[in-house]
Structure 1
């Protein structure tokens, strides 16, 4: 069976314009050439695509089904050509963004909306390593950009840009023993189970905010929050995750007096200093930086 994308394009044009003659005018071809091409397509497919008994051709049931597939194929052709053009211009075939904890995703999702418009055909990979795992991915080249909480140390090979602070209030379930205390103290926190986020490495990062000897580890802030809701312990959770749980009365924030010395964590954008980013990665890097500057100066136009 012989089949060309040009023939499918003719089929779609005839349907969209309403007739063979209208399609011929739009394409700058003779009507007889369009009619003959459609007839050859029908022969190649072994199907009658149009009912020609009326003044205007009408799709048969088989024709309607073939039309739907033809539109999909033509869209895929268009996407393929656009992708080829981007790759020819030096765009990356894939970009991997590593984010410390998927709970951070809503924080910068407006930038991803813009990114999808600027690089519609690029394959984006979002991974969620935590703590030292994130640094390892950038150092090995598994990821090109990273977003994470500021660590105790940053490998010298990585460059970084501050993206702001995330408040980390300590929360408990309303029925937790700490919720019954008027002003819980550091000693009170140490006496109860602490719920903490962890990466997959047993490194120093996960230990730095430890107060209690009784610990449950969870891979991600969302998991910590769910355990807190069940009354299984207390934990520090990013403030941006707490609006709905607080409104529903699922958790309460402990008074500030109970907080450890550091109740806010800086967020950083990270990349390998010795590995130049491609056009898409450089755009995303600049957009995230400007997203931060826009937050600091909301009245200033910082469009890319």
Structure 2
């Protein structure tokens, strides 16, 4: 089971949304990380057969992406914006989507009941879609994407708008589902990748700037992340010299977490980087034209 993407490009007139993307995506959770507008959704829509690439090739489990009918039999897709008729109940909406997927009636009933248990929506099956919470709607979205028991699950920005409890529940659900299928997860939130994925590709302006294990991405920030304490009137000048990640008010002082290539100074404390720190360091260095050696 593998998604093979080779030299993929997508152009809209003179604008390039994707530039020479090559990725091999194995079984398990695989993350696509990047800023809004980096090209993540465009790539996912191509993999879901919703868009056609300008050039390049894609094979999903050995099936050419151009064979849309066969590819759609083995994929499930949860787009960033997902909805159904708001007055439909959870069960009737899944049943309707199952009909559109040409699932036989006896199989629809069996699959829907299984999926409602799996995504913890059994108690909500008679509730109208419009009355579901944000987390319930995302879980419903996973259920509809799993209706045809796909080998590949493509999920775009799944945790947007979820509270911490719902996000944790969503992470656990995805981890269970990834045991025997490929799950491709797109997000601009680095902690989503850290919580769920073993491998990640980082996109920047339509280009892959990192591909590898999450632990290797984490190492990029080693020795580059610090904290220091500043007076309030020192902050603006400090920001001109360093990439500030976060600040916290401590009475009249400010605790500042930041990135620097210059090495520690006396009043700086070296920090263990998080995945977000390393991701921010990667983006910051690229935007400033710095050279980072990345293992692909």
TM over 0.5: no
| Structure with higher helix content | 1
> Normalised by the size of structure 1, how large is the TM-score?
0.24
| Structure with higher strand content | 2
